[in-house]
Amino acid sequence: TDLPRSPPAAAEPRHASPAAPRRLREKLRTAARMAGPPAHTAPGSRQQVQGGERRAQPATGPPAAARETRVPFRFDYERFRRSLRHPVRGRRPGEDPETRARRMKIKEMMKFAWDNYKQYALGKNELRPLTKNGHIGNMFGGLRGATVVDALDTLYIMELEEEFQEAKKWVEKSFDLNVNGEASLFEVNIRYIGGLLAAYYLTGEEVFKSKALELGEKLLPAFNTPTGIPRGVINLGRQDTRSLFSPCSGMSWSWGWASAGSSILAEFGTLHLEFLHLSELSGNPVFAEKASTSQLVLNRVEKPQGLYPNFLSPVTGNWVQHHVSIGGLGDSFYEYLIKSWLMSDKKDSEAKKMYDDALEAIEKHLVKKSAGGLTYIAEWRGGILDHKMGHLACFSGGMIALGAEHAGEERKQHYLDLAAEITNTCHESYARSDTKLGPEAFRFDAGTEAMATRLSERYYILRPEVVESYMYMWRLTHDPKYRQWGWEAVKALEKHCRVEAGFSGIRDVYTTTPTHDNMQQSFFLAETLKYLYLLFCEDDVLSLDDWVFNTEAHPLPVNHTNFKA
């Protein structure tokens, strides 16, 4: 994701949204049911829940949610823990010594990554492992400690108790939400809200819940658009009702680089899991309502060939450009459809249908086989195929395998095969490089197969998507090759990315003496190391029966108890 370069858009007209159709009302009632026992909502909020007719809030006004979540509501944590089918860290049955040793190696890598972050960059967003200092960046609107929040659940699952306590202490004492800057709604949601929610569900520590809810409220003004589709950038500053000229008014706007003020599919389509849990924990349906509205608008809008383009206007609700990608700009939207259904304990049939239809269209129009027999997912620009796959798109092997489990007998094997073929192609993109790590994008044209052809696409920034697919494929097939491939990745990370003070991305995967980019991404701790660790765990550690992983690998519980029709 890039920086916002445009000035804030003019305030949206304060008109009421079109009358909500019956299906929206039903969906919102379902979302409200999921939020648990009825909260003592204020009359104004009730109107929002029932119809959505008064959904649009003035951009500078006090958010209804701020009032609502002050109402006493207690989430029954003990009841939630009793509803889990497996202990979160598993039962530890006997296992072979090699698997255990490999898991311990990955745990050591996590400790190394954390210790160096703590020593040189605690409180900054990421570690710069070569220069041994911190990086703040501009995605999080003044929030700090992205690596702390992203690492919490991985530290906990790996039983790095002391390190987990260090991270928790930082959240308690130093995590300041009183900031005033421009943040990516998507990044704050997947890393901070996702990380805090997961830490709360795993430990029951109230501090994680209260921070998640407080931060969630700060994101709500982004949804004040005519369609309810949020804008991509939000100012996290206090919403000041006294001054129309307040520079910190919770205003939102679109990324300057996104065409014609549009919102991005992978951004506004990647809120559902976290926002439903914000409602679950607060008793306030407003979060679920916001996320459900986006899903509903997407379900209704006409789709070219059944495909979802990456840019949509939050004002008109129409597509702005016909670029379709299962990699960057589109990716996690598809992931959240199938995971929304799983997280609802298979009740959200609308999300499932949208996923099934989208996958059918993707398979029909985008899935191709190379001359050398590698299956890949191309990108689509107004009907013309670009025979390229991004590293980001490699999550799709795992997603398709996860969905295959629920595709019905006749489709199940077909989708498992497709998932295996895509994962194999992504593995090839690693195997064909000199470092055994994969490039940012690889192509299938002019005689090239699964390799980057452009200098600008040769880098690897510690991304997780390929090992993420290995983890799902292992859990769903138990084919030992996925553990072998995961171990190849561990060895390559150790050889090429481990430096004196942490792990760094590399600029060219096609040389055995790569230069480093001096950045230990927070998702390396949240995702890459977590998925690798889980690959060498028994299946009951963060069991897929109990948990869905958000797109930053933060585990959120399946709602076994509350989402009852």
Instruction: State the residues that interact with ligand DMJ by CB under 6 A.
Output: 332, 392, 463-464, 523, 527, 551-552
Phi, psi of 373 (to 5 degrees): 90, 15
Active site residue 405: no
What's the min distance (Å) between Cβ of 190 and ligand DMJ?
Answer: 6
CA angle 20, 26, 29 (to 5 degrees): 105
Residue 378 CB-density burial (10 A; 0-12 exposed, 13-18 middle, 19+ buried): buried
Q: Of the two residues 508 and 552, which places its CB atom closer to ligand DMJ in the complex? A: 552
Active site residue 126: no
Active site residue 331: yes
Please give the residue whose beta carbon sits closest to ligand DMJ in the complex. 551
Q: Of the two residues 398 and 514, which places its CB atom closer to ligand DMJ in the complex? A: 398
Q: Of the two residues 421 and 527, which places its CB atom closer to ligand DMJ in the complex? A: 527
Considering the candidates 440, 449, 517, 540, report the single residue annotated as catalytic. Answer: 440
Residue 172 CA: distances (Å) to CA of 121, 166, 219, 364? 17, 10, 21, 50
Q: Of the two residues 523 and 547, which places its CB atom closer to ligand DMJ in the complex? A: 523
What's the min distance (Å) between Cβ of 551 and ligand DMJ?
Answer: 4
The reply, when asked if residue 551 is annotated as ligand binding, is: yes
What's the min distance (Å) between Cβ of 246 and ligand DMJ?
Answer: 31
Q: Of the two residues 27 and 463, which places its CB atom closer to ligand DMJ in the complex? A: 463
359 CB-near residues (< 8 Å, 6+ apart): 334, 400, 403, 415
Residue 107 CA: distances (Å) to CA of 114, 306, 320, 410? 11, 43, 45, 40
354 CB-near residues (< 8 Å, 6+ apart): 295, 298, 299, 337
Considering the candidates 280, 331, 348, 468, report the single residue annotated as catalytic. Answer: 331
Active site residue 465: yes
Q: Where are the beta strands (DSSP E) in 451-499?
A: 498-499
Helix axes 97-121, 481-492, angle to 10 degrees: 30
Dihedral in degrees, nearest 10, Cα atoms 526, 529, 530, 536: 180
Considering the candidates 267, 465, 527, 546, report the single residue annotated as catalytic. Answer: 465
Residue 371 CA: distances (Å) to CA of 15, 333, 388, 445? 55, 30, 14, 10
Handedness of CA 194, 197, 201, 203 (dihedral sign): positive
What's the min distance (Å) between Cβ of 550 and ligand DMJ?
Answer: 9
- Bind-site residues: 551
- Bind-site residues for Ca(2+): 551
The catalytic site residues sit at 187, 331, 440, 465
